[in-house]
Structure 1
């Protein structure tokens, strides 16, 4: 694609300075969590289009790999990409897939750009993390839930590290403040049979359900819980609210109209943010992908990853991991969510926490937001007293 505004003759004179960068995209556009993953792919492709059309000298040449949600396919596709000389790969949604391939990047000394929220307790010299960690999503959600919903939580999650670790953090965070995690129930990724656990929830009547299910499992659980509550005359959104750090706009569409509203989500991005940068992003995304899926926090994080990589490549004048790591800490972007930069000490992004509630239109009404980006604390070192010290966490203000 020719950069906008350049004639062929001008482009030819600049060709000597063009840096062509092979870029791996490793995202499951099929499988149990494909709704969110496809929005991530859209975010990456939109950023690639923008970089390749700009007047700068970076041109991405993408290679797209689709693991289909199968863990073994991530390693196989990564091996192929690295063997082909690709030094930068953007992708992975689940923590299990990320952990499966990190050793490959460390061995090759290349970079994985990981664009999804996750549970933290990890750093790697070969991973740059543009999604939120616990002090940017879960701990603000704990504050909100204990203040506005009550002290008794019930955990329901997919059976892998994302749910295990988040329930552990939740348990340790609410305990010092008088809260209780009544139960933890785990299900295989893709499971859609929740009758027994829903009955247990209705008996326990927790203050809130903490949902760490992913993909089709989450959608079916929310539909079934709502239906069971309606059958018993229970106002589920108000009497047994469901909170999470994952639910996003394309997933609301997948849930369907009968159970779409009233869910509380903690995230750093929602498509309803009233900023100029976000309006431009949402419009460009809709124009590029008119058939969806809807834009999401993970789509924005993937978009950010590609744009930050482009900035770092232009600054470094080189493509190897060592050169990019030397300059990544001085890159920043006016992202749709607000200013985003990478902390060179942890390779995690500084992001702006927010709390929102889903509505019947399939969007989110923002309830609380931090006044500025928050530095990632992947090991919760600064969130002391087993995560009970509110003063070290972002103070979210009521959104106007």
Structure 2
């Protein structure tokens, strides 16, 4: 069989304030490229061109312009929503596709983007239900000062208000800011039922360490009395936080490396063999892995890397991913994913608490319910532990 070589772009800030998680995304994407290129039955070989914007927003557009200018039509990349928003007009102008493998705040459906990360109904809605049912309805919200933090806190606030709850305070920090003493002091003064954390990168890691230390100094059991919940906390970030503060933190996601399945076991083993120095597997690494595999399948079916043909080929396509079956919705081009909620351990892994047990259709605009109660073709949440 004659294989067609397709040059693609890989765009992740493996350096900078959120470099740990973006580096895991890069690893997930490159693992998928290796598997695709090693498959003797494969119709395409992917030739990746890797760019590292270093977490600087102005670098994303220049890197994308350079890649698209070379004739690349498919780029897997971006972690922050700001970077995604920055480059979407370029993909529209050049008739190319961005494969976006990151959980995000929703309220977008761009013609030139394929979304393989979690939409807000996959992580926000289940988390709001869980927190209100388990801890209470008084929240302290803190986030990084950009789209992800703003919109995530807005969804949390709206969800709480629908349940009769309230947000005691809503604070924002610049991306990369680690001066969180005032935030922690306010949390301990207000004593919310839970803290909702929408910080990213080093800001988030510092919050966990600073809050745990302050609680210990006051004799407070932080995980039990001041629980922190996030929609963007994964295994490599637990390692960055450190064993003294990593345990007992709540995460709402669609993938955890502790999932028990043969497919996930093979994925984790292959990832660790390829990248023994890390960072660890993450939900974002899995989303990038999914994106590249779906990209290759769609290009092969289309018989071309032309954007419209590939977009048509990926619509409705399924892939057996480490998290379970993933399908691209032909209307929104977001993925159907399996929501889960977990709590972290000192060994930088997670114990899964809740699992829908099956994929849930994407609802990026939250036009359905703000709860995770099922609509047609949706799965019921089951308690795992």
TM normalised by structure 1 equals: 0.94
Kindly state the Cα deviation for residue 388 of structure 1 after the two structures are TM-superposed: 5.6
The residue aligned with 2:37 is 52
Shift in alpha-carbon separation, 1:391–1:35, aligned structure 2, 3 A = same
The residue aligned with 1:11 is none
CA contact (8 A) 2:230 2:251 kept: yes
Query: How far apart, in 1, do the equivalents of 2:324 and 2:357 lie?
Result: 10
SS of the aligned residue for 2:177 comes to coil
The residue aligned with 1:180 is 166
The residue aligned with 1:64 is 50
Kindly state the Cα deviation for residue 275 of structure 1 after the two structures are TM-superposed: 0.6
Kindly state the Cα deviation for residue 332 of structure 1 after the two structures are TM-superposed: 1.1
Query: How far apart, in 1, do the equivalents of 2:274 and 2:154 lie?
Result: 40
Alignment of 1:68-79 (within 5 A): 68-79=54-65
Query: How far apart, in 2, do the equivalents of 1:303 and 1:27 lie?
Result: 13
Query: How far apart, in 1, do the equivalents of 2:14 and 2:97 lie?
Result: 22
| 1:261 has 2:247 as partner | yes
The residue aligned with 1:380 is 366
Query: How far apart, in 2, do the equivalents of 1:158 and 1:53 lie?
Result: 40
CA contact (8 A) 1:176 1:388 kept: no
The residue aligned with 1:8 is none
Query: How far apart, in 2, do the equivalents of 1:390 and 1:115 lie?
Result: 25
The residue aligned with 2:23 is 38
Cα RMSD of the aligned pairs, angstroms, is: 1.1
SS of the aligned residue for 1:131 comes to coil
Residue of structure 1 aligned with 2:260, choices 274, 291, 297: 274
Aligned length: 382
The residue aligned with 1:225 is 211
TM normalised by structure 2 equals: 0.98
Q: Deviations over 1:333-378 (max 9, x none)?
A: 1100000010010010000000000011110000000021011101
Query: How far apart, in 1, do the equivalents of 2:330 and 2:252 lie?
Result: 25
| 1:315 has 2:298 as partner | no
The residue aligned with 1:162 is 148
Query: How far apart, in 1, do the equivalents of 2:107 and 2:89 lie?
Result: 16
Residue of structure 1 aligned with 2:269, choices 280, 283, 289: 283
The residue aligned with 2:381 is 396
SS of the aligned residue for 1:253 comes to helix
Query: How far apart, in 2, do the equivalents of 1:299 and 1:356 lie?
Result: 18
Kindly state the Cα deviation for residue 389 of structure 1 after the two structures are TM-superposed: 7.9
| Ranges in structure 2 where 5+ consecutive residues have no aligned partner | none
Shift in alpha-carbon separation, 1:172–1:228, aligned structure 2, 3 A = same
Alignment of 1:308-347 (within 5 A): 308-347=294-333
Kindly state the Cα deviation for residue 176 of structure 1 after the two structures are TM-superposed: 1.6
The residue aligned with 2:117 is 131
| Ranges in structure 1 where 5+ consecutive residues have no aligned partner | 1-13
Query: How far apart, in 2, do the equivalents of 1:179 and 1:83 lie?
Result: 50
Query: How far apart, in 2, do the equivalents of 1:308 and 1:140 lie?
Result: 26
Kindly state the Cα deviation for residue 391 of structure 1 after the two structures are TM-superposed: 4.8
Shift in alpha-carbon separation, 1:160–1:320, aligned structure 2, 3 A = same
Q: Deviations over 1:173-213 (max 9, x none)?
A: 11121211111000000000111111110011001000000
SS of the aligned residue for 1:347 comes to coil
Residue of structure 2 aligned with 1:121, choices 97, 107, 115: 107
The residue aligned with 1:210 is 196
Q: Deviations over 1:231-260 (max 9, x none)?
A: 000000000000010000000000011101
Query: How far apart, in 2, do the equivalents of 1:134 and 1:388 lie?
Result: 11
CA contact (8 A) 1:208 1:240 kept: yes
Structure with larger Rg? 1
Query: How far apart, in 2, do the equivalents of 1:333 and 1:388 lie?
Result: 27
